[in-house]
A = this chain, B = another copy of it.
């Protein structure tokens, strides 16, 4: 019945599974994604999924990791603080648009630590950007509280969690111009 001669294994199979999960996510959304559905779409058994991920949250987490791969890989460098921060935020929005807003929602609710490192990475990226701004003399050299450093990312994430649609450019600008820049230029 199966007998197409070739049976998937290992990495190739895993890729198919994640692809299937990805398509399932796209079609029915996170809330209605089921292990059963993913297995069916990948034309395999549920055990194959459970062998790899203990529940759908972990599975989706893996999908997300795969799709939006390296988040903090390259730090934008526009030569200006404002441009850099906006670029970072736009990257986040792009990621949200790609995954779909409700996937973000869903993950947040079920996975305790969707991105335990996400926050850390963002802090790192913004730290670098701020340092360069200090170097250019755009802002003072005083040590900024951690909360301030991660402020743009935090506010944007807050928006993402509440709204059901991709965050608009206006909001990004507002976060940067109304909140972040005034704060770091304060000293």
Contacts and interface: CB of A to CB of B under 8 A. Distances in A.
B147 A154 contact: no
A123 to B, nearest CB: 14
- Please tell me the size bucket of the interface on A: 20 to 34
A109 B108 contact: yes
Nearest to A107: B109
How many protomers of this protein does the assembly include? 4
Nearest to A184: B182
Interface string A136-180: 000000000101100100110110011010000000001100110
A148 B112 contact: no
B151 A179 contact: yes
A183 B90 CA distance: 24
Interface in A94-150: 105-106, 108-110, 112, 119, 145, 147-148
A180 to B, nearest CB: 10
Contacts of A157: 158
Nearest to A112: B164
Contacts of A155: 147, 151, 154-155, 158
Interface string A45-70: 00000000000000000000000000
B161 A108 contact: yes
A77 to B, nearest CB: 26
Nearest to A30: B109
Contact of A179 (B158, B162, B175, B183): B183
A148 to B, nearest CB: 6
Nearest to A171: B147
A178 B109 contact: no
Interface of A: 31, 105-106, 108-110, 112, 119, 145, 147-148, 151, 154-155, 157-158, 161-162, 164, 174-175, 178-179, 182-183, 186
